[in-house]
Structure 1
């Protein structure tokens, strides 16, 4: 039987795309003859690895995610208003997706974690599989205290999620009780195949690895107000990033695609980032310490911080110290911590691919 999967991925951040990519690669390893259509607002370049398979990228925006000015600030009112607007256009969007699924002879859909995908699948009686560690109704629910008139948005999202046949639930998850059939996955993360020294040697083509290396998992807007002089005073450290917008002074940009990101994670001494799911998973999978700055606007953060404290070497930096460029104390603390990495299974992509293909048969 031919396998043709429509894979819906929310365009919010990189994390949903990164983990979905790992699962899609495993699908192709098991079924090289499969066809996968990705429907997302995430950038096309993120899927470059899939160009040699039967893969098709379709730019489309079918959910909202969380509208942010920085990695640490969400505009809750604008997010809920944007989703309410999407619901106003929902029937048109749904008709569009039904036509697409029919035209491409799709045999199953997977979604991380776009709600409308499940409504489209139900209309055609296609198997519908969710893959996530949180749902948008859970994220938005606590916002209703300030914006109670958006309660119908939550109801609409939940109605779509209830149409899923299966949830592949990732570790470090929130309340996902909206799904009736749940299978827990091991960790899904990009894993470097290199030793730490091999990864370090690759970084040596770009930076002086005699210094300690910090990978910045941040946006330009996150550190634009951090005093540049504060970073230059950290003379024992050198910063690397994949963002050209961050390159300045002691920050070296290694452009996307030059080195696999997981090898950069593996080769550096410390990562400084928000505690988002993808970063938490890759820190744990590649055993690289993380200094994180807490995000107060994200209800998943306490769960992810708990995961870090259990499975990783980590240190919290206050937002005040981060903004002031007072980074030295947190970096000294994490450098002094023992390298203790409790075991956690990280073959979630393989397990997810197996489960998805079971539904396609």
Structure 2
């Protein structure tokens, strides 16, 4: 091990800003890595807001960078294929000057390895900088693009451009629910951020009694319209609802607690404090309800490639019920609320896949000095 690395091991991290799921998983791993290696410096490249990673404290050096497009969406459920193809044509193949500039940057920062949560740009940068790379994923964009090629055939061309980057990672970690198992990878369970507050403390903060039924509604950081809020007040006055992203500030309106996306309450704690979670079937919410054992009413996009493996995992591991996206906008999912609330929570052993992943990352990049 070099003297420089012994002084302060440094990790470059490139995180997709397509939703909060990749950021949540990366943050969970990095929190554990900071516990395992208190000297670590994290050079984070992403367009996810810096506040999302505040738990990393002094370990974090933030670089705002649009490092991954993924897909352009018009809302939480719909893909804008024309806009996606237009923006991909501006990005791919990666510009050599962009790759070289970023490679020089991570080298100048003293990075010893590059971790990527499905951002292929980071993998290209690692190769150019001759640094070991770690890929963490439950799907990769080449797989998604191939799965959507029937709607937009040109996506196949971009899948071919990206596949070598994903296949070239030195360390490949797959986390459940895995969409396409790959031989020779490290296979781990769902990765969620750790809980910070007890159920009673979280409910006390919300001024919700332990005996009151609580439904937590979250679309995973996506800004959407909640057109059914009035129905929650008139049809279910005996039920408390906490709604993430429904307000710019925390406010109470009868039986509703409206929360901002940047909420002082930790999202996993809200998941655990609830009797039922309602939301989009996205990675981070699935990982959190799995860890908490909270029943999940989830909206699924039937035509999206990731949905099949996600639904299979939910049906096997989580007390849940699938809901159609159109039921969200018009509020017809509320007709099923009594049935959803009747589902029972489950308890499971506390196993930290995030800690396992952090240990793999630590061993991988510290052993290469």
Scaled by the length of structure 1, what TM-score is found? 0.90
- After superposition, residues 54-73 of structure 1 pair within 5 angstroms as 54-73=59-78
Moved more, 168-177 or 246-255: 246-255
Match of 1:19, SS state, is helix
- In the alignment, structure 2 segments of 5+ residues that lack a partner are none
Deviation at 1:111, TM superposition (A): 0.2
Contact kept, 8 Å, 2:247 with 2:259, in 1: the verdict is no
Deviation at 1:97, TM superposition (A): 1.1
2:194 maps to what in 1?
191
1:120 maps to what in 2?
125
Distance 1:270 1:38 in 2: 34
Aligned length: 355
Distance 1:230 1:325, change over 3 A: farther
Distance 1:227 1:297, change over 3 A: farther
Scaled by the length of structure 2, what TM-score is found? 0.88
Cα RMSD over matched residues? 2.4
- After superposition, residues 180-219 of structure 1 pair within 5 angstroms as 181-192=184-195, 194-204=197-207, 207=208, 211-218=212-219
Match of 1:281, SS state, is helix
Distance 2:71 2:293 in 1: 29
Contact kept, 8 Å, 1:274 with 1:293, in 2: the verdict is yes
- After superposition, residues 40-189 of structure 1 pair within 5 angstroms as 40-51=46-57, 53-87=58-92, 90-175=95-180, 177=182, 181-189=184-192
1:353 maps to what in 2?
358
Distance 1:242 1:227, change over 3 A: closer
- Of 5, 8, 19, the residue aligned with 2:14 is 8
Distance 2:232 2:292 in 1: 29
Contact kept, 8 Å, 2:118 with 2:137, in 1: the verdict is yes
- Of 309, 318, 321, the residue aligned with 1:315 is 321
Distance 1:276 1:192 in 2: 19
Distance 1:295 1:215 in 2: 20
Deviation at 1:254, TM superposition (A): 3.7
Distance 2:290 2:321 in 1: 14
Distance 1:191 1:103 in 2: 33
Deviation at 1:351, TM superposition (A): 0.9
Deviation at 1:107, TM superposition (A): 0.5
- Of 258, 271, 280, the residue aligned with 1:274 is 280
Superposed CA offset, 1:67-119 (max 9, x none): 11211111123213212210155223212211211211210000001112112
Superposed CA offset, 1:36-65 (max 9, x none): 1011111111011122x3310100012202
Distance 1:297 1:248 in 2: 37
Distance 1:192 1:221, change over 3 A: closer
Deviation at 1:66, TM superposition (A): 1.7
Deviation at 1:225, TM superposition (A): 4.3
Contact kept, 8 Å, 1:217 with 1:273, in 2: the verdict is yes
Contact kept, 8 Å, 1:215 with 1:241, in 2: the verdict is yes
Deviation at 1:248, TM superposition (A): 7.9
Deviation at 1:136, TM superposition (A): 0.6
Distance 1:280 1:128, change over 3 A: same
Contact kept, 8 Å, 1:211 with 1:238, in 2: the verdict is yes
Superposed CA offset, 1:163-182 (max 9, x none): 211111101111254xx641
Distance 1:30 1:210 in 2: 39
1:236 maps to what in 2?
238
Distance 1:94 1:309, change over 3 A: same
- In the alignment, structure 1 segments of 5+ residues that lack a partner are none
